[in-house]
Amino acid sequence: MVSFKDESKAVIDFIADYYKNIEKYPVQSKVQPGYLSSMLPDSAPYGPDSLEDVLNDVSETILPGLTHWQSPSFFAYYQASSSTAGFLGEMLCSAFNVEPRFLIDSLSSNPEYLENNASKSNVVVDYKDWQVTLSRRFRALKLWIVIRRHGVENLMRHIRTDVDLGKQFEALIAEDERFEIVVPRRIVLVFFRLKPKHGLDGNELNRKLLDAINSSGRAFLTQGVVAGIYAIRCVVGATLTEERHMKDLWNLIQEKARLVLLQCSP
């Protein structure tokens, strides 16, 4: 009989391989909605499947449908990516499965019309006090382990590195006369656009550019509107992002900009 220890190791090996090969996947999912229903059985298995079969299905059917937030070329939103220390904390959170007393205290409310003898006696669980934490595990433990494993010094270094990468990316944009910074950089958020040319509509031009970038699968950015101006957002912050990824992103943007301008020229 396979032990919990053996299967846990197999899952960790699977995750480690995923991280090792994450740059091979398109950053943004390229499958059509509903694709998964045609690839999986119509009903649950009558008997248990092996973990090997389950992980194979994850690899072949689930991973192709994901947008990979952990990718070093994910620049769409402020990151909530996991470090290895955070993952270890997540494992402990799952094992202990305990909605934290301090959070309950901070979210509870006790107006007169809700008071009753059972609640006052503390012999029942008042789910009204749990609110958001009802569906959340003990995340404070995860944060505590991240801080312990990395230390404040390394966490600050990571933040400063991301800010420096944002500055470098902003400088690359400023050097290219075809582009402009729409609003000043905010920490790791760079808001830019391709300047209108040949009487082209600037908003439509940048929509086409963003679509070309994201459809390549090599990076994922998002859009925003400032005072009616449609622009492209780049947020630096993924755990695995390095300077080379920012250079690759800029090369991709320049490549797609040339194509879009050529296609849109009168």
Q: Which helix (H) or strand (E) holds 226?
A: strand 222-226
Averaged confidence pLDDT in the chain: 83
Residue 51: both structure tokens together: 């973990």
CB 170 within 8 A of CB 109: no
Residue range 66-76, pLDDT digits in tens = 889 889 999 98
How confident is the model at residue 100, as a pLDDT? 57
Residue range 74-127, pLDDT digits in tens = 998 877 667 788 888 888 877 876 665 555 555 555 644 455 555 566 655 665
How confident is the model at residue 219, as a pLDDT? 96
CB 260 within 8 A of CB 210: no
In this predicted structure, the answer to whether residue 190 has a pLDDT above a threshold of 70 is yes
Q: How confident is the model at residue 234 (pLDDT cuts 50, 70, 90)?
A: very high
In this predicted structure, the answer to whether residue 63 has a pLDDT above a threshold of 60 is yes
Buried b (16+ CB within 10 A) or exposed e, 82-116: bbebbebbbeebeeeeebeeebbeeeeeeeeeeee
The residue with greater pLDDT, 84 or 256, is 256
Residue 126: both structure tokens together: 């008042």
CA atoms of 233 and 112, how far apart (whole Å): 48
How confident is the model at residue 112, as a pLDDT? 42
List, as own/partner pairs, every contact residues 225-230 make where C-beta atoms lie below 8 angstroms and the sequence separation is at least 24, other chains included.
226/182, 226/183, 226/191, 229/182, 229/193, 229/202, 229/203, 230/193, 230/202, 230/203, 230/206
**Does residue 113 carry a catalytic annotation?**
yes
Residue 110: both structure tokens together: 């006790």
Q: What are phi and psi of 192, to 5 degrees?
A: -140, 170
CA atoms of 21 and 99, how far apart (whole Å): 35
List, as own/partner pairs, every contact residues 54-57 make where C-beta atoms lie below 8 angstroms and the sequence separation is at least 24, other chains included.
55/10, 55/11, 55/14
In this predicted structure, the answer to whether residue 129 has a pLDDT above a threshold of 60 is no
Q: Of 25, 77, 113, 230, which is the active-site residue?
A: 113
